[in-house]
Amino acid sequence: MNLFKISRKYLSFKPLSTGLNILLLSFGLAIITMLLLVQNQFESVVSKDAEGIDLVVGAKGSPLQIILSGVYHVDFPTGNIPIKEAIGLQRNRLVKSVLPLALGDNYKGYRIVGTNHDYLDFYQVEFSDGASWTESFQVVVGAEVALKQGLKVGDSFASSHGISEGSHSHDEHLLQVVGVLKPTGKVIDRLITTSVETVWYSHDEPGEDGEHTHDHGQITLNGLPEGDESRELTTLLLQFRNPMAAVQLPRFINSRTSMQAASPTFEMARLFELLGVGIKLLQGLAVALIVIAGLGIFIALYNSLKERKYDLAVLRSIGATRFQLLQLILIEGITLTWIGAILGLVLGHVFLFFLLKTSDQGLAASLQAWTFLPGELWILVYATVVGLVASIIPAITAYQTSIAKQLTKS
């Protein structure tokens, strides 16, 4: 027999009220856990994908859209840019390197990105099977694409026109998988990469006699592809040669060319600021839930105390000290909140798991439900504080109860 056993017996004596309080508290804490996980991982995923990219250049349009489509591959591109302008930009002395991206096709919702080997090197990929493309119509698939679509080296498939699923297919040109990447936790896991020329050639109209008018052999493995003037790219990822470029280059691109420059850091900070309102709202809701749960625990302990004054007096009459009764009530309050906290943490991860399961594409796909953050320990601390605050008044009341009065009152 000990105080923990006694308090456990009392808690399980009223399963409904105990259960309700635990549930309320755990829901509040689950929302906080989920927010914590999403916010933390989202920020780290977002910064990992954009690391090393100083500037993104696309067709005129929304800078945020350029970042989302060019770096994270979630939004639609703003349009295309002429290859001539891209080559002009590469010659600029402020630019250290340029990664070309040509978008336009997808395979079952996974984007096909025409680029060069520098893009693969930029994300420091490793191959789990095969190697990089060396000819047109050869592709390398990211880890997630390979897993979800069951693609492996040697497979071939027909791409569909457009960024998202469900438009006409390019049946005349099957794409052949020559390499599968290891998981990186970055955007490239969700992409199918190939040469820029593959994307170009897929979209060329067949000649009048049904013959293709272009040469299928020539592709560019590094640097910008050389195409005739009518060729276009979608996005360029730039690295600056020196800090001066951060000031001069965007201004130059926006005013002197038909292109638009966007800074990933700046645009994502702006996006988080916009999302922040929603996150704050959810946080407020979670705090409200926790406060209600705290009140619930307080009321439950206080009410049960009225019924239990008798029991407490009996305990005193058989030798329990007032301090032991104080401890008993505190243990009950804290046990209640700790069970709620642990349940809340588990629920938070479970909620996130189901949330991610229902949206397995886009940025959400790179979030993990079962990673644990040190910040989650703070949730236990919050819960303990709630438990202490909620049980301190009932505990003091128990401490001050006069036993003679309780026992002689029949």
Binding site for another protein (CB under 8 A): 1-2, 5-6, 9-10, 12-13, 310-311, 314-324, 403-404, 407-408, 410
Cβ proximity to another protein, 5 vs 91, nearer residue: 5
Cβ proximity to another protein, 303 vs 321, nearer residue: 321
Cβ proximity to another protein, 274 vs 318, nearer residue: 318
| One-letter amino acid for residue 165 of the chain | E
Least separation in angstroms between residue 145's CB and another protein is 58
- From CA 123, how far away is CA 125, in angstroms rounded? 6
Least separation in angstroms between residue 297's CB and another protein is 18
Give Cβ neighbours of residue 275 (< 8 Å, ≥ 6 apart). Answer: none
Least separation in angstroms between residue 322's CB and another protein is 7
Cβ proximity to another protein, 117 vs 316, nearer residue: 316
Least separation in angstroms between residue 9's CB and another protein is 4
Cβ proximity to another protein, 266 vs 302, nearer residue: 302
Least separation in angstroms between residue 51's CB and another protein is 58
Give Cβ neighbours of residue 11 (< 8 Å, ≥ 6 apart). Answer: 18, 332, 335, 336
Question: Widest CA span of the chain, in angstroms?
Answer: 110
Q: Tell me the three state secondary structure of residue 330.
A: helix
Cβ proximity to another protein, 6 vs 295, nearer residue: 6
Least separation in angstroms between residue 339's CB and another protein is 17
- From CA 276, how far away is CA 357, in angstroms rounded? 24
Inter-residue contact 359 to 410 (CB < 8 Å):
no
Among the listed residues 184, 213, 224, the one whose alpha carbon sits nearest the alpha carbon of residue 90: 224
For residue 41 the two structure tokens come to 């991982």
- From CA 12, how far away is CA 231, in angstroms rounded? 74
